[in-house]
């Protein structure tokens, strides 16, 4: 199974459809009249489909078990045709496309099984995904050209004792979100140096990410250096980063990371360890790039319509 531990739980939905063709006109009359010897075709196949949705991971090896928050089976009919539609919702780390398609296939097979003694020419002609929402495709990277600088605050790295891994990981994540990296700078854990460098980098970049100095050691000064520079804090970003981190280690609650805007520039202060920095970036991006759509005057409703 694919590792989804780095993904975030978001609302996801899928609609799958199946088409069952009949060869005799009287077959549909028997179905609608509820005169099929094996029982009510729609009710029995609906029940089978709901069971199938919930047990998809038992049948498809690479499907993850997930909470099914909502499932519905709907039917439409036309001459010689029964249309099946299955809709599934979840709030989880992975989508429900296969669950919806599995449900639709079992509904169609149940219809086939119940009607085959009456109609030898019955045929399932298609099972396909009709629609899906949620996941990466709904949170595409901001399309305009954004520039970012990464600032690593570490006495040991600036002295050449240790090598930087967190800063490079932050830069790599930003690049995957189509953000251009203009600078990756290493400086000591000095409050005045941090403040001056952040101020300098904020003049020419849309994003400045500072890594390190957010803990509780005597040399951790990053929040104190950055806070006076911010015009507006964005508490929700670090709330999310810490929440995401605490799902993996309780020590995340000790991080003093902050986020906010200086003019039109987003400034983030993240932990200095590679793992904590990667987790924070996974928690925040690409979702935080929505800030720049709002900054540029596009309303949330317009963003929803454009997707």
Task: For 63-119, give the DSSP string.
Answer: PPP----EEEEEEEEETTEEEEEEEEEEEESS--HHHHHHHHHHHHHHHHHHHTTT-
pLDDT value for 303: 47
What are the Cα distances from residue 77, in Å, to 19, 134, 193?
A: 10, 30, 72
Going across the sheet that includes 70-78, the strands are: 70-78, 81-92, 10-21, 123-133
Residues 243/235, Cβ–Cβ less than 8 Å: no
Tokens of 282: 């996974």
> Radius of gyration (Cα) for the chain, nearest Å?
27
pLDDT value for 142: 56
CA distance 223 to 217: 12
Tell me which H or E stretch contains 148. Answer: strand 146-153
Give backbone dihedrals phi and psi of 114, rounded to 5 degrees, phi first.
-75, -25
Residues 268/257, Cβ–Cβ less than 8 Å: yes
Q: Which residue has the tokens 């009919």?
A: 77
Domains of the chain: 10-138 (3.30.70.640), 146-302 (3.40.980.10)
Residue 6 CB partners (closer than 8 Å, separation 6+): 279, 282
Residues 79/28, Cβ–Cβ less than 8 Å: yes
CB neighbours of residue 14 within 10 Å: 23
pLDDT value for 306: 44
Q: What tens-digit pLDDT sequence spans the chain (307 residues)? A: 999 888 888 899 999 999 999 999 999 999 999 999 999 999 999 999 999 999 999 999 999 999 999 999 999 999 999 999 999 999 999 999 999 999 999 999 999 999 999 999 999 999 999 999 987 666 655 567 899 999 999 999 999 999 999 999 999 999 999 999 999 999 999 999 999 999 999 999 999 999 999 999 999 999 999 999 999 999 999 999 999 998 888 988 999 999 999 999 999 999 999 999 999 999 999 999 999 988 877 655 544 444 4
Catalytic residues: 113
CB neighbours of residue 192 within 10 Å: 9
């Amino acid at each position: 199974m694919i590792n989804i531990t780095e993904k975030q739980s978001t609302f996801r939905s899928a609609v799958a459809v199946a088409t069952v063709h009949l060869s005799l006109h009287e077959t549909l009359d028997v179905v609608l009249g509820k005169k099929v010897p094996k029982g009510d075709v729609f009710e029995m196949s609906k029940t089978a489909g709901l069971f199938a949705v919930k047990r998809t991971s038992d049948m498809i090896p690479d499907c993850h078990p997930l909470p099914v928050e909502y499932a519905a089976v709907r039917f439409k009919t036309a001459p010689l045709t029964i249309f099946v539609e299955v809709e599934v919702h979840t709030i989880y780390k992975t989508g429900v496309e296969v669950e919806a398609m599995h449900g639709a296939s079992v509904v169609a097979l149940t219809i086939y099984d119940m009607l085959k003694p009456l109609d030898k020419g019955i045929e399932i002609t298609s099972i396909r995904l009709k629609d899906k929402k949620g996941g990466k495709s709904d949170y595409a990277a901001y399309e305009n050209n954004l520039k970012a600088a990464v600032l690593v605050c570490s006495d040991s790295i600036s002295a050449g004792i240790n090598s930087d891994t967190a800063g490079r990981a932050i830069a790599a994540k930003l690049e995957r979100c189509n953000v251009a990296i203009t600078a990756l700078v290493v400086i000591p854990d000095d409050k005045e140096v941090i403040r001056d460098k952040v101020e300098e980098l904020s003049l020419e970049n849309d994003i400045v990410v500072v890594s390190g100095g957010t803990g509780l050691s005597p040399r951790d000064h990053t929040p104190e250096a950055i806070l006076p520079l911010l015009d507006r804090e964005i508490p929700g970003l670090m709330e999310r980063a810490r929440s995401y981190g605490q799902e993996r280690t309780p020590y995340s609650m000790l991080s003093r990371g902050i986020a906010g805007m200086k003019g039109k520039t987003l400034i983030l202060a993240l932990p200095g360890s590679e793992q904590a920095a990667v987790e924070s970036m996974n928690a925040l991006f690409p979702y935080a790039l929505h800030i720049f759509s709002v900054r540029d005057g596009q309303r949330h409703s317009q963003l929803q319509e454009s997707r």
